[in-house]
Amino acid sequence: MIARGLLLGVCLGVVAWLPIPNHVILLPGPAVATGDQVDVEDHPRPTDPGDYYITTVYRRSATTWWALRALIQSDWTLVSEHEDRPQSQSSLSEDEDHQILRRVVYQTCGLEPPLIITVLDLTDDSPLRGKVEPGDRLLQVAGEPLRMVAQVRQIVQRIPAGQPIEVTLQKPDGRKYAVEAVAKPIQGLPGSQGLGVLLSGHEENRNLPKIRFQSGAYEGNSSDLVLGLDICERLLNLNLRRGRRVAGSGGLAMDGSLTSVQGLRQKFFCARSIQADILFVPWSDQAQLQGKELAPGKPEIVPVHSLNEAIHWLQKPKH
């Protein structure tokens, strides 16, 4: 009998630790304060006892035993590996992975970087050939400052056929000059005319406040929302925290809207562990936070559509 009991125990032990292929267990990770994760040159964070927190998730390989625990433990979840894949690409460097975040916070704070429009080449029949050289920067067309490459064609189309168009440019050494040219018809496009130039546009960020990130304490782009709030508070010199512990999770798209994230149940308990007052989550993901064990007490779950909406919510009078 003893031998059978030992054998049964061994068998149960072996079964309990059998791996479940293509599955992982999600459980709450540590909350990471953003204060030492991001720095904005010449823009210190306004003094306040509150803080921003990135919520994280631990992942461990799934076994039968851990799967059984996940059934009874509200802050653990068994998921397939493809559902748990991080949003950002691991091959990207930390700097590259935050390019969208940088652009969104600049736009949100009204710090639009100027667009540099450069002449790459000219067609053989370009009316500007001999007057303009590749590498020159295009500043104005018909007296109108340029903010996007597409503007050039729009302006030229409005000019009556045969009327000279003044074009203002800048040499690589900084010298500005102006030339006049008459637009020529574009073959294959009746009623259209152009200047016969191939243009390239890129944003000039050198004069914008430098934003630097640390790495290693979190992964993926689900930290973008909370990092964005911290950066915007510094750039705008606003105190959005007002003594509150603000946690959140959500990636950012180019228009400032939030992208979907995984593991919100675990991130809720992560936020609760540090007694966060608020947990911002993407509006589209709030269904992940259903269940009576999530409702009472702190943190208050606040679904939002965008970074801008989260900023406006924090500016509301406390309730």
Q: Which of 151, 183, 203 is the last residue of a domain?
A: 203
Q: Are residues 153 and 45 in the same domain?
A: no
CATH number of the domain within which 45 lies:
3.30.230.10
Are the C-beta atoms of residues 311 and 229 closer than 8 Å to each other? yes
Q: Where are the alpha helices (DSSP H) in the chain?
A: 2-16, 64-72, 94-97, 99-108, 150-158, 224-236, 264-273, 307-315
Residue 172 Cα distances to 140, 141, 151, 281, angstroms: 16, 18, 22, 47
The answer to whether residues 77 and 38 belong to one domain is yes
Domain boundary among 176, 203, 230: 203
Is residue 8 classed as helix, strand or coil in its secondary structure? helix
Range of the domain at 156: 115-203
Q: What share of the chain is helix, strand, coil (3-state, %, to 5)?
A: 30, 30, 40
Structure token digits, residue 221: 């782009």
Query: Is 12 among the domain residues?
Result: no
Structural domain count, the chain: 2
Residues 240, 297: one domain?
yes
Is there a single domain that holds both residue 310 and residue 284?
Answer: yes
What was the pLDDT predicted at 1?
54
Backbone angles phi, psi at 313, to 5 degrees: -65, -40
* Predicted local confidence at residue 92, as pLDDT: 40
User: Cβ-count burial of 10 within 10 angstroms (0-12 exposed, 13-18 middle, 19+ buried)?
Assistant: exposed
d(CA 226, CA 33): 10
Shared-domain flag, residues 190 and 156: yes
Q: Which residues contact 301 (CB under 8 A, 6 or more apart)?
A: 268, 279, 281, 286, 289, 294
Low pLDDT (below 70) residues in the chain? 1-17, 82-97, 215-217, 292-296, 319
Are 158 and 107 in a shared domain? Answer: no
Per-residue pLDDT tens over the stretch 189-230: 788 899 999 999 887 777 889 999 986 667 778 999 999 999
Contacts of 205 (CB under 8 A, 6+ apart): 102, 113
Q: 193 and 253 share a domain?
A: no
- Position 78 scores a pLDDT of 77
* Tens-digit pLDDT profile for residues 136-180: 999 999 999 987 888 899 999 999 999 999 999 999 999 999 999
- For every residue of 57-121, DSSP letters joined together read EEEEEEEHHHHHHHHH-TT-EEEETTTT--SS-TTS-HHHHTHHHHHHHHHHTT-PPPEEEEEEE
So what's the pLDDT on residue 18?
72
Tokens in use for 243? 């003594």
